[in-house]
Amino acid sequence: MTTRHHRPERTLTAALLAAAALLATLPTTTTTATVAAAASVPAGAVSIQLALPPPTGPHPVGTTTLHLTDPTRPDLWAPTPRPRELKTQLWYPATTTAGHPAAPWATPAETAHLESDYLGAPAGRLTWPLTHGHQDAPADHTTRHPVVLYSPGSRGDRGFDTALAEELASRGYIVAAIDHTFDSGEVEFPGGRLEVRNTAAVHAMTDAGIVAYRAADTRLVLDRLTALAATGTSPDAGHRPPPPGLAAALDPATVGMFGHSMGGATTLQTLHDDPRVQAGASLDGPVFGAPATDGLTRPVLLMSSAWDSPARDAMWDTLWPELTGWRRQLNLTGSGHLSYTDFELLLPRARPAIAWTAADLDHFLGTGDGPHAITAQRAYLAAFFDLQLRHRPTVLFDGPSPRYPEIVLQR
């Protein structure tokens, strides 16, 4: 378990009540107990196949990755001096997927590091999902599609909310999922170079500084996608051409954003800083920096877990009266902090192979119906962006829904 040592008010307690860097506090193989638990898994046991549910929208889904660099911006988290460097994965409506294989949930190098550093799983015990996104499939450019940015939590990777990203893409959105290099747990760049989280460098910043730095990452991604839409020129640092039709499919004039945990805080900061982002959803995220004092004028959706977090609740109570646009606050009952990630579906299945205890899973995933919790998240997130970016009416935010009884409208 990682803790902060720079300021007393930012220390993460054993109860994990602080809202900052929540994913960075999860069990890792650095603890004696975790190592012992991992070693207790029977050697040679059959690999466990993990899976995600298919998206429900009318479009087939394509996916591609972009390697982005900003020569004007030094990387403050890198262990050696270099320009800021990001990996972004796009999920988009495709015209056809024929001849384009399903993309993996993450690269083999990324999942190997995730298994050892985060889950305490012996090598070879988990078979990670193939996604429902097809690698470099041609994009549907019969119309331009709204862009939705995604920011994961501290120590989270771009793929941690693949189930939500695929769903939005199948419903006609282009989702740009961002790896915040050196805050993300593991990022593999072209040539097989794996960059892992630099905890000391990240924690040397204040929480507000971390969020501002991550928000600058989102601006870089949006800048490059805007240029791609305007010129058709590849933003990839290696000049790898984008999939056919992708440039014409992007609508950088219609942009939303969502994020989990620290990614939720990043979403609110980006809403504050960048007028191009028109609506944002925070999934169980804290509030740091300018939004906490200046407020926000654009639509905001706050979705909390059932995890008892006085720090998060106090932040949201302070923010609420400062939200002067459309606003809703929902709670996902029976959930934990990681219920807003793919781990809600993956970790229960992986349980025999990982070092997490049943108590760990109950704490971080709750005790609700995991598959239905993801179904509900998909419905409410899509309804939010449909309402705010496409101006399509919905009744989901007017009161309780019999289809999604686990979602409670709090205010």
Residue 6 lies in a domain: no
CA dihedral 286, 87, 387, 95 (to 10 degrees): -160
CA-to-CA separations, 123 to 155, 196, 332, in angstroms, rounded:
20, 18, 34
User: Distance (Å, rounded) from C-alpha 246 to C-alpha 90?
Assistant: 10
Residue 31 lies in a domain: no
Q: Assess contact for 262 and 23: CB atoms under 8 A.
A: yes
Residue 36 lies in a domain: no
User: Distance (Å, rounded) from C-alpha 258 to C-alpha 385?
Assistant: 10
- What residues contact residue 80 under an 8 Å CB cut-off, 6+ apart? none
Q: How high is the pLDDT of residue 181?
A: 98
Burial class of residue 124 (count of CB atoms within 10 Å of its CB; 0-12, 13-18, 19+): middle
If one compares 28 and 315, the residue with the highest pLDDT of the two is 315
Q: Which two tokens stand for residue 249?
A: 């499919």
Residue 42 lies in a domain: no
Burial class of residue 123 (count of CB atoms within 10 Å of its CB; 0-12, 13-18, 19+): exposed
DSSP state of 133: E
Query: CA angle 13-1-118, nearest 5°?
Result: 140
CA dihedral 398, 403, 406, 411 (to 10 degrees): 0
Give the number of residues written for the chain: 411
Boundaries of domain holding 145? 47-409
If one compares 149 and 36, the residue with the highest pLDDT of the two is 149
Domain of 264, CATH number, reads 3.40.50.1820
Residue 25 lies in a domain: no
Among 2-11, 94-103, 162-171, which is the least confidently predicted range? 2-11
Q: What are the pLDDT digits (tens) for 48-85?
A: 999 999 999 999 999 999 999 999 999 999 999 999 99
Residue 69 lies in a domain: yes
Q: Is 24's pLDDT higher than 90?
A: no
Q: How high is the pLDDT of residue 46?
A: 81
Q: Assess contact for 136 and 100: CB atoms under 8 A.
A: yes
User: Distance (Å, rounded) from C-alpha 402 to C-alpha 411?
Assistant: 18
| 221 band by pLDDT with thresholds 50, 70 and 90 | very high
If you average pLDDT over residues 21-47, what whole number do you get?
A: 44
CA dihedral 390, 286, 367, 407 (to 10 degrees): -30
Q: State the pTM of this model.
A: 0.91
Q: How high is the pLDDT of residue 118?
A: 94
Residue 26 lies in a domain: no
Q: Assess contact for 309 and 283: CB atoms under 8 A.
A: no
If you average pLDDT over residues 132-157, what whole number do you get?
A: 98
Sign of CA dihedral 269, 271, 276, 279: positive
Q: Is 377's pLDDT higher than 80?
A: yes
Q: What are the pLDDT digits (tens) for 294-307?
A: 999 999 999 999 99
Count the domains in the chain.
1
Q: How high is the pLDDT of residue 26?
A: 46
Q: How high is the pLDDT of residue 114?
A: 97
Q: Is 25's pLDDT higher than 50?
A: no
> How many CB atoms lie under 10 A from the CB of residue 404?
18
Question: Among 65, 147, 152, 155, which Cα is nearest to 103's?
Answer: 65
Q: What are the pLDDT digits (tens) for 314-327?
A: 999 999 999 999 99
Q: How high is the pLDDT of residue 315?
A: 96
Q: How high is the pLDDT of residue 43?
A: 52
Q: How high is the pLDDT of residue 102?
A: 98
Residue 35 lies in a domain: no
CA-to-CA separations, 349 to 113, 333, 357, 383, in angstroms, rounded:
19, 21, 13, 29
